[in-house]
Amino acid sequence: MPELFRAMFKEEWRMHSTLFGSLNFALFPFMIFAIAFMGAFLIPLVREVIEINTLALIIHAQFALLGIMVGSFGLLGKEVMNRRFGQASLIAYSARSLPISEKVIFLNFIVKDIVYYFILWVIPFGLGFLIAAPFLGINLYYPLLILLTITLSFLTGLCLVFLLSSVYSRSKKALLLLIAAMAIAAGLMIFGTGTEFSFLFPPLAVFYSLSPVNLAVSVLLIIVLFTISMIFFTPEYHSSVKHYKNRFIPISEKLGFLRENNLVAKDFIDLYRSGAGIGQTLFSFLLPLGIIWLILSLMGDIIPQESLLFSLAVVTGVISSTMYTWLTEFDSFAAYIFLPVRTSDIIKAKAESFTVLQIIPVIFLVAAGTLSGIPGYIPGAVVLCLSVSFFALSVQIRLCGLNPGILIYNVRVFLLYMLLIGPATLIMLALTSAGPVFAYAGVILLIPAWHMINSGFKKWDNTEFAGF
């Protein structure tokens, strides 16, 4: 098992270093470190407007979300065993020819991914705050504590969604029953026994009150979730033959108002037949946003409801932009080389598919605004969300073309992405805090978005296909 782990780790490193260059990829964690180090000096300013407990809640929620975004192994199992990263052939792909059980191979793959993301994201962030602490006069106890608790947050989020996705891969009804049971148990704990919210998320309880009991509960929860996930996880294909009606022509005709209706129809047929459409919507969109909405709701006593809705709209816009990754992650672009289409035609088709999928965040925001009792602010929130989403899409097209899931780990690309998205979202949040009417100012983002999309078409038409 150690040999297999080392081989997979080398494989991951070689794949990314081949794509971006060894030095360029090795600088990625240093960039996260620099962002955390410089961000630490803003803490005194941030504390003027946000309480330290609320700030801690936001930081832990971000790392829990990182774990959630990484941990849908149960959903990705089949793809990992087959064609993750298109043409790249992984060790996991040889699962059926190696004298090792598929579960052992996939366990190594999961542990390797956890360690990999831990090195890329968690450790650099914690070290950045730790090194900055002496300059800010902060006791080293706090950065060490937060390094421990963000690690626990990352692992808790990862193991939770690993369990849910593993159950989902076996039975959708069982998943609904499990979510219902968890919601009922959480409700009984909060409203029946008066348990504080932080105790429903043990890493946060450890941060607020470090004790052997709280630490043991947090670690034990991670172990239990991971163990049950591995029991439920299956990389097996059921060999039953599925038959689908040929819906290409009817769907293409219904999408006739789109310029690339044939390619868009293919995208939706791919999403439907692979099951990725429902799974990605559930684990990459609704689950993270549901948790963010819950966290924002806890601030209802200190922040007006309309400000919370607009904050949710901005976050929803950023997360909605990842739908472009859904459409490109498992598509094999090598096949398009033999077709009479340009790279920009394929990107246009993905962008049109992305536009159709934006109905999902719109429905989510309408539900959030209605349940919050502020339906009058829904139009502004929708405009703001879609503006941010299309702006982030344009940045991905310009910087990453058809490979956003891979090129985002290029240091230069990630830095440019952060420098473009970060200020834009902060300005939108500042404007909406000044007045609800400024939510409509989000449409200004569509001007640079249009320019970046068109320049992205020219850029990738003149770039030789890399064949990742």
Is the pLDDT at 411 greater than 50, yes or no? Answer: yes
Q: How confident is the model at residue 30 (pLDDT cuts 50, 70, 90)?
A: confident
- Residue scoring higher pLDDT (404 or 330): 404
User: Mind listing the pLDDT tens digit for each residue in 39-87?
Assistant: 888 777 767 666 676 677 778 877 887 787 776 655 555 554 454 444 4
Question: pLDDT by residue (tens digit) across 359-383?
Answer: 988 998 998 889 888 889 999 999 9
Q: Buried b vs exposed e over 363-398: b needs ≥16 C-beta within 10 Å?
A: ebbeebbeebebeebbebbbbbbbbbbbbbbbbbbb
* pLDDT at residue 405 greater than cutoff 60: yes
> In this structure, what are the phi and psi dihedrals at residue 84, rounded to the nearest 5 degrees?
-65, 140
The model's confidence at residue 453, banded by pLDDT at 50, 70 and 90, is very high
User: Whats the size of the chain, residue-wise?
Assistant: 468
Kindly state the DSSP code that residue 340 receives in the 8-state scheme: S
- 436-441: average pLDDT: 88
DSSP H stretches of helix in 188-236: 202-208, 212-232
Owner of token pair 């989902």: 168
347 three-state secondary structure: helix
Closest CA to 307 of 215, 409, 381, 400: 381
Confidence of residue 20 (pLDDT cuts 50, 70, 90): low
- Please say if the pLDDT value at position 274 is more than 70: no
Predicted local distance difference test score (pLDDT) of residue 87:
47
